[in-house]
């Protein structure tokens, strides 16, 4: 999309002839203008790049297996695919990621957008004639209400994506189909556009928010504008949706009905439901079922990147030894990552990575990372260096009785034992494992009741600035190690403001180096998602997707 | 009899009150924040103290514990089982939807345990130390020793990998489609039933062995009665009391076991709902389901007690 630019043409002097001509044109325009302009505006409104496949067949029921037991129904307040999985087909966003590649940002309810050259104003031009499922017209007021809520949630409403819009100041409705976001400070365009295109930021009706006091947690079926409409839902079993015949993107969706089954991630239930043909498409399969699916004729099984890091935390304020960056780096180097990935290979698919998503273009390239200490297959040089660092820090004899809090999930239980052995063997660090339920883990982590801890943390965007703020930020919500490093925080602030990609990449690499030497957490590995589908399902191939939170609408999918 | 009934009812009520207090206190004392499940990991970590206060008040968890308990008991007395913390679904709806499946599994398991356990026990008792007795005893020990959920997983995997079969993944009530419903309940019922059947076989064997050595059995045989008549008419009724007693206790195992077995089979019953509710820390759902299980267990045991009089006229209540 073209950004708006200011034209600076020199003005000719006003003569009597030019004045009369201008007056004539002006009066004519006054009489005919609105109609002409309206027609021009309508002509300008471009269709969505997501079009029905000309070879595609209409109709049928897509049976989709995914975790579908949301704790509540408020997509904005959620951070789990339990919501996005079943609910996203009923909603649209302002802009979106193209379902063909999962990367390119394309129009959605906004058919066009302009960004001021200084990056301080985002103007969205909204589609006309779009209706919510309850028949109400979609207008800029709905966008304003949605984003006011996301940017500045009312008390008792917690929206994980709020920090992405920290620099959004006024949200101004210019006219019913045009809205401006005025920023207090500019942010890199990929960052802001990524935030607007996030699948979480569905547009809801202003009235839905008003009627429910701004809280949709217990409102199951609030109207959206999306390609599918709610039909019925059975808690923790199935959510059934039907084609929205009045969908603004004509010709879509291709399938008549969606049956979204609650089948938990990595579970044998999901695997068996898929392998026995009870669902057509399975998301987040366990590796064993996924391997079996790969061998099945007529099935496609792929793995793709996910926005989750499996992280090991070290409580800096509580433990003097762990406050020493050398000790943390030693622990970082003592982790045999390729082995840790292998340990859980039958439980969840993982990949080795550093402090930034290893598949992000700004992160250290894989080939370079593989040569770096701590990431190599041969762990001996890294362990040698780790021992040297421990000695230098005054802990040559290791550490004893460290409380290692483990989140009670299969992957973490397996890793905890492996990490315990690695730390003991390589650095003589003795740990006491304490396996706790997820809710207890977060309680303990927030209260600082641990020396070492392991869990997964997520990000809303792949952009490094999001990680630098949420995972490594001074008050970052996932900074359970309570790590601070003023030099890093300054650099992160610069990265957040830097608009030039090349300079930004260099700064990100510098930040990575800082994190390598003073680790706020230890990236054990990065999760991958394993999907499988029967080849009768067309139009969805997530191989190049980033995570499972952006391309989640099923509007272009068809069944043969 | 009336006095006995009143006394049993009072004991039962006392037990239920005790269970309600224990489950209420345990759920509130145990560590773990329900807001993690409600808001998700990201939302939870971004929640401010003011948000927490507001949400806890909305959930009714900020009132003093005695007040919360009194509210719960008063709701139950009024027939209101409350709502899930999360989606606002009522517990009554949950029980109405999933209860029949779990009830079917429980009843079917009980039937299987008797149908399998009793004949095996009789056979063993009347042909002690024979090959069939040895086989029956070995199988009994096997089914007692093998964990239910593990057996369930083996059956699920075996059916899937050898036959590409999996039972329906949604709740199908017996009145909607009996065949589909049967496919859902038969697996868990078999696993639970065979495990309980093993107990019944062993118990009935030992009771029968004791009874068939009694004088009245010898007398029956001496009268020239046919062996089947001796067993069915004389020996078995006298050996049944301990078997019936253990059946009441075993129902507790069936109820408890159904939680893990439903999970293993992926059956959308109450046991599975309970597991999910525990993981989510959905306190209202957990405390009501546990109380329901306790109510069923107590009621069955009262019925077992009452059945003594019917089976053994020598027993008089009062």
Q: How far is A79 from chain B (nearest CA, A)?
A: 5
Q: What is the mean pLDDT of chain A?
A: 90
Chain B segment 147-166 residues within 8 A of A by beta carbon are: 153, 156-157, 160, 164-166
Q: What's chain B's average pLDDT?
A: 85
Q: Tell me what pLDDT residue A388 has.
A: 97
Q: Where are the beta strands (DSSP E) in A184-329?
A: 228-234, 238-243, 257-262, 281-282, 299-314
A146-197 pLDDT tens trace: 999 999 999 889 898 998 999 999 999 999 999 999 999 999 998 999 999 9
Residue B229, min C-alpha distance to chain A (Å) = 50
Helix axes A410-427, A325-334, angle to 10 degrees: 110
Inform me whether the pLDDT recorded for B6 exceeds 50: yes
Residue that is written with structure tokens 């004389």 in the block: B234
Contact: A236, B45; criterion CB under 8 Å: no
| Contact between A423 and A404 (Cβ < 8 Å) | no
**Contact: A272, B47; criterion CB under 8 Å:** no
In contact, A105 and A193? CB cutoff 8 Å: yes
pLDDT score at A296: 94
The pLDDT of residue B315:
67
Q: What is the DSSP track for A305-366?
A: EEEEEEEEEE-TTT-HHHHSHHHHHHHHHH--HHHHHHHTTTT--EE---SS-TTSTTSPPH
Q: Which of A165, A216, A236 would you mutate first to test chain B, the one with the most B CBs within 10 A?
A: A236
Separation between Cα atoms, residue A558 and residue B83, nearest integer Å: 38
From B34's Cα to the closest Cα of chain A, the distance in A is 7
Rounded distance between C-alpha atoms, residue A517 and residue A494, angstroms? 20
- Chain B nearest-CA residue for A218: B87
SS3 A131: strand
- Residue A6 scores a pLDDT above 50: no
A437 chain-B contacts, CB cut-off 8 A: 32, 279
Segment A445-464 shows an average pLDDT of 91
Q: What is the pLDDT of residues A346-359, one digit of tens each?
A: 888 999 999 999 99
pLDDT above 70: residue A12: no
- Considering only alpha carbons, which residue of chain B is nearest residue A459? B42
Cα–Cα distance measured from residue B155 to residue B162, given in angstroms and rounded to the nearest whole number: 10
Is residue A17 very low, low, confident or very high in pLDDT (cuts 50, 70, 90)? low
Calculate the alpha carbon distances from A75 to A67, A68, A170, A198, A550 in Å. Answer: 14, 13, 23, 12, 13
Structure tokens at B213: 């050595």
Residues of B in contact with A263 (CB under 8 A): 169
pLDDT in tens, A240-285: 999 999 999 999 999 999 999 999 888 888 999 999 999 999 999 9
Segment B190-208 mean pLDDT = 91
CA distances from A135 to A110, A130, A243, A295, A378 (A): 19, 9, 15, 47, 63
Report strand pairing: A429-436 vs A399-407. parallel
Q: What is the pTM of this model?
A: 0.82
Q: How distant is the Cα of B99 from the closest Cα of chain A, in angstroms? A: 14
CA A543 vs CA A96, A199, A303, A527, A558: distances in Å: 17, 18, 6, 14, 18
Would the pLDDT of A4 be above 80?
no
pLDDT tens, position by position, B64-118: 889 989 988 888 888 888 777 777 678 888 899 989 999 999 999 989 999 999 9
Q: Please judge whether A437 and B44 are an interchain contact, meaning their C-beta atoms are less than 8 angstroms apart.
A: no
Distance CA A116, CA A19 (A): 32
- From chain B, the residues in CB contact with A268 under 8 A are 153, 156-157, 266
- For the record, the structure tokens of A204 come out as 């809801």
Residues of chain B neighbouring A277 (CB-CB closer than 8 A): 164
Q: Which residues on chain B are in Cβ contact (under 8 Å) with A73?
A: 87
Task: Give the pLDDT of residue A477.
Answer: 86
pLDDT at A203 exceeding the cut of 90: yes
Tell me if A77 and B39 make a contact (CB, 8 A cut-off): yes
Q: Is A529 within 8 Å of A308 (Cβ atoms)?
A: no
So what's the pLDDT on residue B5?
Answer: 78
Q: Which pLDDT value is given to residue A41?
A: 46
Q: What is the reported pLDDT for B317?
A: 56
Q: Which range among A506-515, B55-64, B194-203 shows the weakest confidence by mean pLDDT?
A: B55-64
Give the model's confidence band at A10: pLDDT under 50 very low, under 70 low, under 90 confident, else very high: very low
Centroid of chain to Cα A505:
20
Mutation target vs A (from B57, B84, B87; most A CBs, 10 A cutoff) = B87
Substitution target from A63, A66, A149, A160 for chain B, most B beta carbons within 10 A: A160
For position A285, what pLDDT does the model report? 95
Reading the block at residue B136, the tokens are 């029956």
State whether the Cα torsion A276-A277-A278-A279 is positive or negative. Answer: positive
- C-beta of residue B64 within 8 angstroms of C-beta of residue B56: no
Residue to test with chain B: of A65, A232, A272, A286, most B Cβ within 10 A:
A272
Is B281's Cβ below 8 Å from some Cβ in A? yes
Nearest to B42 among A157, A276, A458 (CB): A458
Residue A22 has pLDDT above 60, yes or no: no
Closest residue in A to B37 (Cα–Cα): A71
Using a CB-CB distance cutoff of 8 angstroms, which residues of chain B are in contact with residue A81?
none
Instruction: Give A79-120 pLDDT, tens digit per residue.
Output: 888 899 999 999 999 999 999 999 999 999 999 999 999 999
At A21, the pLDDT band (50, 70, 90 cuts) reads low
| Residue in B37, B43, B281 nearest the CB of A160 | B43
* Displacement of CA B173 from its chain's centroid (Å): 19
State the pLDDT confidence band at A235, using cuts at 50, 70 and 90: confident
Distance, CA of B135 to CA of A235 (rounded, Å)? 45
Contact with chain B for residue A437, Cβ under 8 A: yes
Residue range A522-534, pLDDT digits in tens? 999 999 999 999 9
Q: What is the pLDDT of residue A7?
A: 34
What's the whole-number mean pLDDT along residues A440-459? 91
Secondary structure (DSSP) of A516-533: HHS-SEEEEEEEEEEEEE
pLDDT at B197: 92
- Cβ separation B42–A436 shorter than 8 A: no
Q: How long is chain A? A: 560
Q: Closest chain B residue to A259 measured between Cα atoms?
A: B170
3-state SS, residue B114: helix
What's the pLDDT score for residue A443? 84
- Cβ A438–B279 below 8 Å, yes or no? yes
User: Which residue in the set B32, B47, B88 is minimally distant from A158, CB to CB?
Assistant: B47
Q: Do A277 and B164 touch (CB under 8 A)?
A: yes
Neighbouring residues of B66: CB distance < 8 A, sequence distance ≥ 6:
none
Residues of A (28-47) whose Cβ lies below 8 Å from B? none
The Cα A375–Cα A419 span in angstroms is: 15
Q: Are the beta carbons of B45 and A477 separated by less than 8 Å?
A: yes
The helix/strand count (H/E) of chain B reads as 13, 0
pLDDT at A3 over 60: no
Q: How far apart are CA A253 and CA A516, in angstroms?
A: 47
A531 backbone dihedrals φ, ψ, rounded to 5°: -115, 155
Q: Is the peptide bond before A103 cis (omega within 30 degrees of 0)?
A: no
Bridge pairing between strands A121-126 and A178-183:
antiparallel
Residues 212 through 271 of chain A touching chain B, CB cutoff 8 Å: 217-218, 220, 234-238, 261, 263, 268-269
Contact (Cβ atoms closer than 8 angstroms) between residue A89 and residue A553: yes
Question: Which pLDDT belongs to residue B57?
Answer: 83
Tell me the C-alpha to C-alpha distance, in Å, between residue B129 and each of A350, B120, B123: 56, 13, 11
Write out the E strands in B137-235.
none
CB contact under 8 A, A69 and B94: no
Residue A101: φ, ψ to 5° = -125, -10
Residue A201 is given by DSSP the state: -
Task: Look at A236 and B266 and tell me if their CB atoms are within 8 Å.
Answer: no
Residue A257 burial by Cβ neighbours in a 10 Å radius (0-12, 13-18, 19+): middle
* Ranges A33-42, A65-74, B23-32, B227-236: which has the least confidence: A33-42
- How many A-B residue pairs are in contact by the CB < 8 A criterion? 134
Of A175-184, A441-450, B299-308, which range is least confident? B299-308
- Environment class of B49 (CB within 10 Å of its CB; exposed 0-12, middle 13-18, buried 19+): exposed
Lookup: tokens for A23: 């007056």
Of B33, B160, B276, Cβ closest to residue A275:
B160
CB A148 within 8 A of CB A201: no
- Binning chain B into helix, strand and coil, the percentages to the nearest 5 are 80, 0, 20
Q: Check residue B81 and report its DSSP letter.
A: -
Handedness of CA A15, A20, A25, A31 (dihedral sign): positive
Q: Which two tokens stand for residue B19?
A: 């269970």
**SS3 assignment, position B159:** helix
List of chain B residues whose C-beta atoms are within 8 Å of the C-beta of residue A238: 170
Q: Does B232 touch chain A (CB under 8 A)?
A: no
Residue with token string 């004791």: B210
Q: Which residues of chain B make contact with A71, given a CB cutoff of 8 A?
A: 37-40, 86-87, 280
Predicted confidence band of residue B62 (pLDDT cuts 50, 70, 90): confident
């Amino acid at each position: 999309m073209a950004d708006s630019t200011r034209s600076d043409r020199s003005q000719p002097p006003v003569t009597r002839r030019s004045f009369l001509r201008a007056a004539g044109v002006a009066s004519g325009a006054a009489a005919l203008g609105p109609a002409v302009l309206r027609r021009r505006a309508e002509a300008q409104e471009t269709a969505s790049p997501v079009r029905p496949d000309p070879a595609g067949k209409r109709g049928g029921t897509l049976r989709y297996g995914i975790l579908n037991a949301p704790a509540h129904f408020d997509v904005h307040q959620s951070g789990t695919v339990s919501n996005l999985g079943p609910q996203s087909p009923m909603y649209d966003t302002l802009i979106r990621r193209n379902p063909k590649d999962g990367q390119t940002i394309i129009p959605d309810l906004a058919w066009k957008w302009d960004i001021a050259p200084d990056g301080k104003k985002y103007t969205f031009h909204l589609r006309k004639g779009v209706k919510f499922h309850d028949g109400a017209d979609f207008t800029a007021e709905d966008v304003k209400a949605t984003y006011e809520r996301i940017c500045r949630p009312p008390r008792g409403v917690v929206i994980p994506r709020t920090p992405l819009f920290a620099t959004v100041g006024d949200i101004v409705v210019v006219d019913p189909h045009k809205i401006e976001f005025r920023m207090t400070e500019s942010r890199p365009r990929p960052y802001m556009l990524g935030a607007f295109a996030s699948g979480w930021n569905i547009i809801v009706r202003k009235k839905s928010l008003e009627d429910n006091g701004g809280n949709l947690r217990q409102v199951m079926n609030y109207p959206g504008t999306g390609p599918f409409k709610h039909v019925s839902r059975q808690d923790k079993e199935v959510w059934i949706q039907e084609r929205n015949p009045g969908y603004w993107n004509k010709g879509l969706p291709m399938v008549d009905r969606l049956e979204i089954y609650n089948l938990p991630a990595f579970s044998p239930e999901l695997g068996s439901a898929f392998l026995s043909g009870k669902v057509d498409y399975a998301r987040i399969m366990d590796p064993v079922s996924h391997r079996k699916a790969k061998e099945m004729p007529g099935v496609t099984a792929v793995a793709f990147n996910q926005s989750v890091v499996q992280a090991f935390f070290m409580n800096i304020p509580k433990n003097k030894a762990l406050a020493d960056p050398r000790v943390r780096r030693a622990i970082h180097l003592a982790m045999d990552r390729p082995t840790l990935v292998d340990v859980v290979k039958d439980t969840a698919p993982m990949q080795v990575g550093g402090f930034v998503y290893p598949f992000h273009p700004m992160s250290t390239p894989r080939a370079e990372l593989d040569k770096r200490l701590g990431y190599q297959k041969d762990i001996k040089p890294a362990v040698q260096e780790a021992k040297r660092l421990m000695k230098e820090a005054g802990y040559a004899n290791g550490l004893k009785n460290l409380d290692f809090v483990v989140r009670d999930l299969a992957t973490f239980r397996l890793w905890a034992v492996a990490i315990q052995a690695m730390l003991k063997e390589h650095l003589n660090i003795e740990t006491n494992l304490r396996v706790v339920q997820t809710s207890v883990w977060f309680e303990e982590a927030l209260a600082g009741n641990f020396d070492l801890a392991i869990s997964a943390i997520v990000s809303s965007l792949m952009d490094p600035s999001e990680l630098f703020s949420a995972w490594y930020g001074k008050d970052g919500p996932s900074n359970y190690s309570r790590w601070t490093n003023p030099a890093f925080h300054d650099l992160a602030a610069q990265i957040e403001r830097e608009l030039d990609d090349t300079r930004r990449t260099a700064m990100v690499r510098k930040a990575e180096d800082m994190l390598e030497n003073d680790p706020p957490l230890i990236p054990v590995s990065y999760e991958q998602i394993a999907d499988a589908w029967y080849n009768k399902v067309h139009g969805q191939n997530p191989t190049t997707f980033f995570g499972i939170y952006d391309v989640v609408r099923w509007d272009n999918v068809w069944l043969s | 009899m009336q006095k006995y009934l009143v006394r049993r009812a009072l004991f039962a009520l006392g037990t239920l009150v005790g269970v309600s207090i224990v489950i209420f206190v345990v759920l509130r004392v145990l560590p773990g924040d329900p807001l993690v499940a409600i808001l998700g990991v990201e939302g939870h970590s971004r929640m401010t103290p003011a948000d927490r206060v507001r949400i806890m008040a909305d959930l009714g968890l900020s009132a003093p514990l005695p007040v919360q308990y009194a509210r719960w008991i008063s709701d139950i007395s009024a027939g209101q089982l409350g709502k899930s913390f999360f989606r606002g679904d009522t517990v009554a709806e949950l029980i109405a939807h999933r209860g029949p499946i779990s009830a079917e599994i429980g009843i079917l398991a009980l039937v299987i345990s008797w149908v399998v356990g009793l004949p095996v026990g009789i056979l063993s008792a009347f042909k002690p130390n024979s090959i069939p007795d040895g086989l029956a005893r070995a199988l009994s020990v096997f089914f007692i020793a093998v964990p239910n959920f593990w057996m369930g997983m083996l059956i699920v995997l075996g059916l899937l990998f050898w036959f590409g079969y999996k039972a329906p993944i949604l709740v199908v009530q017996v009145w909607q489609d009996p065949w589909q419903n049967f496919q859902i309940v038969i697996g868990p019922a078999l696993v639970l039933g065979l495990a309980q059947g093993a107990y019944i076989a062993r118990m009935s064997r030992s009771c029968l062995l004791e009874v068939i050595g009694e004088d009245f059995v010898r007398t029956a045989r001496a009268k020239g009665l046919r062996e089947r008549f001796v067993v069915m008419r004389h020996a078995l009724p006298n050996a049944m009391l301990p078997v019936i007693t253990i059946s009441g206790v075993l129902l507790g195992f069936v109820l408890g076991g159904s939680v893990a077995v439903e999970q293993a089979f992926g059956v959308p019953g109450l046991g599975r709902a309970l597991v999910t509710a525990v993981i989510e820390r959905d306190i209202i759902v957990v405390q009501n389901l546990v109380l329901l299980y306790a109510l069923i267990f107590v009621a069955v045991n009262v019925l077992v007690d009452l059945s003594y009089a019917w089976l053994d006229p020598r027993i008089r209540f009062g």
